Each structure stands twice: as structure tokens, then as C-alpha cells.
């Protein structure tokens, strides 16, 4: 049986970017804008406040881990943010180690902070399947994982990038499978936390080429067609056939970028009876025909 979360993380292709050890004292604030990258933070000691636009501030305490798969603007600050527009000092005390706020006072926060990029050309499509924010409390293995990423980032060891990519994949999968699925916003994580919907989702991901119908998937979930359709749309955030198409096109993009299969073969592998039917569906969802998509990749 397919593992949808692992498949999505693998297709996203997380790539190492930045890892920092941060300590802070007094009142401080760090603002970031137009990032468009994944942000994560593990609190070793103390606490802080994370503010993401359109969401209530999140208070992070010792032992907490937070992951925002794609963030553009955010503010990380002391529990009581500074007043006014002047920001306190930000000092790099050693490579990859930063001090915020009062440079002389005892540290009130120690945290490991990092960013990673996703190299997938299908990033936007895949990220919509994941929660916007994942907050986990009391799971010490996240601090251990983030510490390993930080240490590997600082070191100049053989196969460093490969190790970092695998560590980031493990970090993302751990965050997704530890997060409280029923409390997540509509998406793949919430759908997989529903035992009946999970059965249908596993089948979609295991056999994307199969000519699935809503009645077939409803039977797999042990539900009536109408009840299944409404529950799937409410919990996953898309209709069943829309989710199937999103997954088919994510796989198709990966095959097109691999340049090893013909259009006819790719069409068959993702469930279309002809290259023309596949091309029409691909263009409708992606915005360009498969051939144009593949050519754009060769030119970049």
C-alpha cells in the first residue's frame, strides 16, 4: 500500500539552505518578508512568539517544534515584543550562531532555526496538500533531528548534501506524522487521520492509473457515495476526482522531467487512454501542454 505523506515529501525534494543556533535576551524581534521557503524552529530553552500573517500569534515553549512548509512573511520575537520600529541588536557570534536582543544579559531563549528549499517544479501543487503550519509539543526527537541538521550544515564532510537531504526528508515526515491530524486544516494530513478516508487515499496513491470512480472509492471507505464525497471534500479540501488528478499530474511532471519515457507511456502510467486526453488534462491543470513544460525545464 502506498504511503501518501512519504511520497509527497519525496516529490518535494527538500534541499538544504540555512541552519542557525539562536540565543536571545530582553525584548527582540526578527522579521522576514518574501521568503517563499520552508521555515522550522526547535526550542531548546525558553520561549518566543511566532507571527504569521492571517493567523493568531503562536507561543513556542521549551521542547516545541514548528514547521511552516511555505512561508513568505513572518515575525519571530520575544514573548513580549519590543515597542517602536527600532529593532534590537542581531549579532553573529560565530559562524551559524546568532545573538538577539540584549547582548550581555543571560540567555532567555535558545533555539535551532532553519530554512529549506523545495526543488520540485511541482512545489505549489504539492504544498496545497499539506497544512500551512505544523506545531508539535513535547517531542524531544525533533530537537535531536534539527541539531543533527545544524551540525551537518556546519561540517565539511563527504556526502554532506546527500545526508542533509535525507535528514530534511525525515524531519518533514516526522512533523507530518506527529502533527494532530484531526485538528489540521483540510488537506492530506487531515484526510489520512480519518480511518475511512485514509483507505481511499491509500488506494488513489497506490494505483493512480486505475480508472477510479467515486462509487468505487466510497465502497473502499465503507460509505455511501454522497456521504463519502462530502466527507472527502470537507476533510481533504478537494473532491475525490480532483485529488486524483492533482496526484496524477504530480507524478506526470516528475516523469516528464526525467525525460526517459514517451508521452504515450506517461499517459498510460497516470491513467489516460491516449496522449491527447492526457495532454488536455495536463494543460487544464498546469496551464501549459506537457511538451511545453518539458521544454521549459530544458531551457532553465
For domain 188-299, the CATH architecture is: Orthogonal Bundle (1.10)
Q: 108-166, pLDDT tens digit by residue?
A: 999 999 988 898 888 887 888 888 888 999 888 999 999 999 999 888 889 988 999 99
The band of 196, judged by pLDDT with boundaries at 50, 70 and 90, is very high
Close Cβ partners of 274 (under 8 Å, ≥ 6 residues apart): 264, 267
Q: Partners of 97 in the beta sheet?
A: 21, 94
Return the C-alpha cell found at 185. 486544516
Q: 3-class DSSP state for residue 125?
A: helix
Q: 215-259, pLDDT tens digit by residue?
A: 999 999 999 999 999 999 999 999 999 999 999 999 999 999 888
Indicate the domain borders of the chain: 4-179, 188-299
Termini Cα distance of the chain: 36
Q: 3-class DSSP state for residue 31?
A: strand
Q: How many CB atoms lie within 10 A of CB 68?
A: 23
* DSSP summary character for residue 179: S
Q: What is the mean pLDDT of residues 268-296?
A: 92
User: Are 246 and 238 in contact, with CB atoms under 8 Å apart?
Assistant: yes
Q: 35-79, pLDDT tens digit by residue?
A: 788 899 999 999 999 998 888 999 999 999 999 888 888 899 999
- The kind and range of the H/E element at 90 are strand 90-94
* DSSP summary character for residue 245: H
Q: 3-class DSSP state for residue 24?
A: strand
Query: What is the reported pLDDT for 37?
Result: 86
DSSP symbols for 129-172: TS-S-EEE-S-HHHHHHHHHHHHHHH---TTHHHHHHHHHHHHH
CA 284, distance to chain mean position in Å, is 25
Q: Evaluate the CA torsion angle 197, 198, 199, 200 in order and state its sign.
A: positive
CATH number of 4-179: 2.60.120.280
Query: What is the reported pLDDT for 125?
Result: 79
Query: What is the reported pLDDT for 88?
Result: 57
Return the C-alpha cell found at 115. 530554512
Query: What is the reported pLDDT for 35?
Result: 76
Amino acid at each position: 500500500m502506498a504511503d501518501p505523506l512519504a511520497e509527497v515529501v519525496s516529490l518535494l525534494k527538500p534541499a538544504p539552505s540555512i541552519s542557525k543556533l539562536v540565543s536571545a535576551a530582553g525584548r527582540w524581534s526578527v522579521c522576514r518578508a518574501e521568503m517563499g521557503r520552508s521555515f522550522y524552529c526547535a526550542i531548546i530553552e525558553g520561549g518566543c512568539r511566532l507571527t504569521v500573517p492571517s493567523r493568531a500569534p503562536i507561543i513556542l515553549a521549551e521542547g516545541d517544534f514548528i514547521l511552516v512548509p511555505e512561508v513568505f512573511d513572518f515575525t519571530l520575537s520575544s514573548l513580549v515584543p519590543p515597542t517602536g520600529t527600532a529593532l534590537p541588536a542581531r549579532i553573529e557570534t560565530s559562524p551559524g550562531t546568532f545573538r538577539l536582543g540584549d547582548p550581555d544579559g543571560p540567555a532567555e531563549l535558545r533555539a535551532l532555526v532553519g530554512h529549506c528549499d523545495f526543488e520540485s517544479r511541482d512545489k505549489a501543487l504539492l504544498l496545497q496538500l499539506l497544512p500551512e503550519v505544523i506545531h508539535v509539543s513535547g517531542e524531544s526527537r525533533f530537537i535531536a533531528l534539527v541539531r543533527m541538521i545544524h551540525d551537518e550544515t556546519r561540517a565539511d564532510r563527504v556526502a554532506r548534501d546527500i545526508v542533509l537531504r535525507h535528514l530534511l526528508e525525515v524531519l518533514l515526515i516526522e512533523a507530518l506524522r506527529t502533527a494532530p491530524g484531526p485538528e489540521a486544516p483540510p488537506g492530506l494530513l487531515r484526510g489520512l487521520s480519518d480511518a475511512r478516508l485514509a483507505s481511499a487515499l491509500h488506494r488513489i496513491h497506490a494505483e493512480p492509473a486505475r480508472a477510479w470512480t467515486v462509487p468505487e472509492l466510497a465502497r473502499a471507505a465503507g460509505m455511501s457515495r454522497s456521504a463519502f464525497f462530502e466527507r472527502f471534500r470537507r476533510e481533504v479540501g478537494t473532491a475525490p476526482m480532483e485529488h486524483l488528478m492533482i496526484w496524477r499530474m504530480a507524478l506526470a511532471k516528475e516523469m516528464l522531467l526525467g525525460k526517459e519515457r514517451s508521452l504515450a507511456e506517461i499517459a498510460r502510467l497516470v491513467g489516460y487512454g491516449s496522449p491527447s486526453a492526457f495532454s488536455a488534462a495536463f494543460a487544464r491543470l498546469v496551464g501549459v501542454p506537457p511538451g511545453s513544460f518539458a521544454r521549459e525545464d530544458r531551457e532553465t
